[in-house]
């Protein structure tokens, strides 16, 4: 069965359907529904819907092309804050699992265009109503007033304090609007009349006072940063343009080439490998942002080199794991963590 970034087609389809159902059940607005209908092929003039193309994919490459042309990832990523809300609140008792499954195939990763469009407006208006509901219902056990006051007191920048103050005033008015009209039409109209600057301040304060800013959230990632450390580079004896460094980067890039069309790698570069160690002597080398499968392929193909994750884990190819020590217990891993 074909797979997309390590997730087989049937699992991907199930998570996609569950994600669309979640958005549809807790409707954000007409623009979002248009995207959902387009993915399903409702009212479409096309012979086959994007969802059917995914179902009909026979190879990894066909599946990648079908998923990327469906605009499903665009929709979920554009509505990232909405999906985060469902994750944290475990909407309907399934929200957390649904969002986690979407994240496994990268539906919530990637870049976005910077315009503020109708999807953004629907998302922000919906989120505001949900923040206010949490505040009114006191969903979060934390003393919200105290947490907001403590955050405000720590702001040394006068402009930021003014923005927070404005957001707080707008939030008070918004709460009154929702209390006066439980259907939320008055709140939606009020929000629509605000400038983008005012909306940002309002939503920032709303997220803090609703307790959403304090909630922990962890999601699996489809692509992650890995690297091969070069001792001379880490020790400051080489620079990024050194022939040995460039040669290794070229060798890695050659192995990665087949995985670019499969959406399993999106970056090759040179720099610091660990995400939490920027000290002198920290591992530096060839970096690549890719799937776990690709990282294991590099580890298998690059004999004599060690591939490590940005967290310091030494990557052991799955086929080789029976013949090597557990990387969590290895001296190499412990040594890396001490750097």
Q: How confident is the model at residue 144 (pLDDT cuts 50, 70, 90)?
A: low
Residues 235, 294 within the same domain: yes
Residues 281, 330 within the same domain: yes
Helix/strand/coil for 86? helix
Residues 134, 99 within the same domain: no
Q: Measured between alpha carbons, how far apart are the two ends of the chain, in Å? A: 42
Encode pLDDT of 239-298 as tens digits. Answer: 888 999 999 999 999 999 999 999 999 999 999 999 887 777 789 999 999 999 999 999
For residue 170, the model assigns a pLDDT of 96
Query: Helices 158-180 and 118-137 sit at what angle, rounded to 10 degrees?
Result: 80
Residues 20, 6 within the same domain: yes
Residues 166, 89 within the same domain: no
Residues 154, 105 within the same domain: no
User: Domain containing 298: what range?
Assistant: 224-338
In the chain, how many domains are there? 3
Q: Is the pLDDT of residue 339 over 50?
A: no
Last residue of a domain, one of 111, 142, 161: 111
Residues 248, 332 within the same domain: yes
Q: How confident is the model at residue 334 (pLDDT cuts 50, 70, 90)?
A: very low
Residues 243, 334 within the same domain: yes
**Distance, C-alpha 84 to centroid of its chain:** 9
Encode pLDDT of 292-326 as tens digits. Answer: 999 999 999 998 899 999 999 999 887 654 443 33
Last residue of a domain, one of 220, 243, 265: 220
Q: Alpha helices, DSSP H only, in the chain? A: 9-25, 30-40, 50-56, 60-69, 72-78, 80-89, 95-104, 118-137, 144-153, 158-180, 185-192, 196-209, 231-234, 243-256, 292-301, 331-338
Residues 156, 234 within the same domain: no
Q: Is the pLDDT of residue 327 over 70?
A: no
Residues 228, 331 within the same domain: yes
Q: Is the pLDDT of residue 72 over 80?
A: yes
Residues 196, 299 within the same domain: no
Among 12-26, 101-115, 187-201, 272-286, whose mean pLDDT is lowest? 272-286
Residue 280 DSSP code: T
Residues 117, 59 within the same domain: no
Give the number of other CB atoms < 10 A from CB of residue 176.
14
Residue pair 178/187 in contact (Cβ under 8 Å)? The answer is yes
d(C-alpha 170, C-alpha 51), whole Å: 41
Query: DSSP states of 142-211 as a string?
Result: S-HHHHHHHHHHT---HHHHHHHHHHHHHHHHHHHHHHH-TTSHHHHHHHHTS-HHHHHHHHHHHHHHTT
Q: Is the pLDDT of residue 338 over 70?
A: no
Find the CATH number of the domain harbouring 332.
Answer: 3.30.70
Last residue of a domain, one of 60, 93, 111: 111
> Mean pLDDT of all residues in the chain?
87
Phi-psi sector, 305: left (phi>0), alpha (psi -120 to 50), beta: beta
Encode pLDDT of 74-118 as tens digits. Answer: 999 999 999 999 999 999 999 999 999 999 999 999 888 889 999
Cα 107–96–132 angle (5° rounding)? 100
């Amino acid at each position: 069965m074909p797979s997309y970034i390590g997730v087989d087609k049937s699992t991907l389809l199930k998570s996609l359907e569950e994600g669309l159902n979640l958005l549809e059940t807790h409707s954000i607005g007409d623009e979002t529904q248009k995207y959902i209908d387009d993915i399903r092929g409702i009212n479409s003039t096309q012979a086959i819907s994007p969802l059917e193309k995914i179902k009909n994919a026979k190879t990894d490459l066909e599946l990648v092309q079908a998923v990327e042309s469906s605009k499903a990832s665009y929709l979920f990523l554009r509505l990232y804050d909405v999906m985060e809300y469902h994750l944290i609140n475990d909407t309907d008792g399934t929200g957390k699992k649904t969002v986690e499954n979407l994240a496994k195939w990268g539906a919530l990763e990637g870049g976005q265009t910077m315009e503020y469009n109708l999807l953004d407006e629907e998302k922000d208006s919906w989120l505001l109503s949900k923040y206010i509901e949490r505040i009114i219902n006191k969903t979060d056990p934390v003393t919200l007033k105290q947490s907001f006051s403590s955050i405000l007191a720590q702001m040394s920048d006068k402009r930021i304090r003014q923005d927070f103050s404005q957001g707080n005033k707008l939030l008070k008015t918004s709460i009154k609007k929702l209390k006066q009209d439980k259907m939320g039409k008055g709140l939606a109209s009020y929000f629509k009349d605000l400038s983008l600057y005012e909306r940002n301040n309002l939503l920032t304060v709303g997220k803090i006072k609703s307790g959403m800013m304090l909630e922990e959230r962890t999601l699996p990632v489809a692509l992650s940063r890995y690297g091969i450390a070069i001792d001379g580079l880490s020790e400051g004896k080489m620079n990024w343009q050194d022939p040995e460094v460039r040669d290794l980067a070229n060798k890695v890039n050659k192995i990665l080439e087949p995985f670019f069309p499969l959406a399993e790698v999106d970056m090759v570069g040179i720099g610091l490998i660990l995400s939490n160690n920027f000290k002198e002597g920290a591992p530096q080398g060839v970096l690549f942002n890719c799937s776990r499968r690709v990282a294991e392929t590099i580890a298998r193909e690059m004999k004599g080199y060690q591939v490590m994750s940005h967290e310091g884990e030494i990557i052991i190819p799955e086929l080789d794991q029976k013949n090597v020590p557990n990387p969590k217990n290895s001296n190499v891993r412990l040594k890396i963590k001490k750097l």
